[in-house]
Amino acid sequence: MPTPMRIFVFASQKGGSGKTTLAGHVAVQASLAGHGRVAMIDMDPQGSLEKWWESRHADEPAYYRADMASLNGTIAKARGDGVRLLVIDTPPAITRAISDVVAHADLVLVPTRPSPHDLRAVGPTVDIAEWHKKQMVFLVNAATPRARITGDAAVALSQHGTVAPVTIHHRVEFAASMIDGRTVMEAKPGGKSATEMTELWSYLADRIARMDMAEAEMAVPMPPKGAYRTNLNALGQRAPIFGRRVVS
């Protein structure tokens, strides 16, 4: 069974959630971790992710240009090109277009700052993910170290869905690294931010592995009726089968 391409869609109604920065960082970390071919699509009209990618001096991750009219075809092309993970960034708004992008997702990632305004804004994104029956994970982002509100935010978000076990803290190095097309893993590989991104990717990679395993199990055909070997006793009579059944 060929390895399927997985699609991560970053979505958030609230502007300033750090969605684009996290999308780029997750894509790069997946590539650095040897996950396979990784690619990105920027569906935000502002094009921040695309502009960042254009300033990079690295072949990975790859980038595909698309709009709503060409998205289906672009996703098919990426799959045909052997892309293992496709990361899609979306604009900070809740529109029909966002819903159409989420419809392609294997996992919807919702970056959320630990603030009352951000927490109140997650509802529409949750509604879209649930409407499409998509798996969703909250990413607590730009948190202040040791601030009580960070823990409170994680608890509040857990009432609406899964919260990633890794918190991304606010550090200037995130914005600084994005200026020249890099990430914190490339600009400051030994720093705390790089460690957080490594741990976040480890969690997301595990999610992918579980998706792949579940699909592989569903693809195993059930044996046809009557395929089990009949158990006979010493007299040649049918007897109950105890323990594990063996397929002939």
Closest CA relative to residue 109, chosen from 94, 132, 90, 81: 90
What residue segments make up the domains of the chain, in order of their start? 6-219
Residue at token pair 């592995």: 209
Token pair for residue 201? 């990717």
Q: What is the mean pLDDT of the chain?
A: 90
Would you say the pTM of this structure is higher than 0.85? yes
Q: pLDDT at position 223, please?
A: 64
Structure confidence at residue 222 as a pLDDT band (50, 70, 90): low
Residue 174 pLDDT greater than 70, yes or no: yes
Across the range 161-189, mean pLDDT stands at 94
Q: pLDDT at position 246, please?
A: 47
Distance CA 134, CA 9 (A): 10
Burial of 36 (0-12, 13-18, 19+ CB in 10 A): middle
Residue 171 pLDDT greater than 50, yes or no: yes
Structure confidence at residue 229 as a pLDDT band (50, 70, 90): low
Matching CATH number, 6-219, of 3.30.1120.130, 3.30.365.10, 3.40.50.300, 3.30.930.10: 3.40.50.300
Q: Give one word for 28, left, alpha or beta, with left for phi > 0 and alpha for psi -120 to 50.
A: alpha
Q: Give one word for 161, left, alpha or beta, with left for phi > 0 and alpha for psi -120 to 50.
A: left
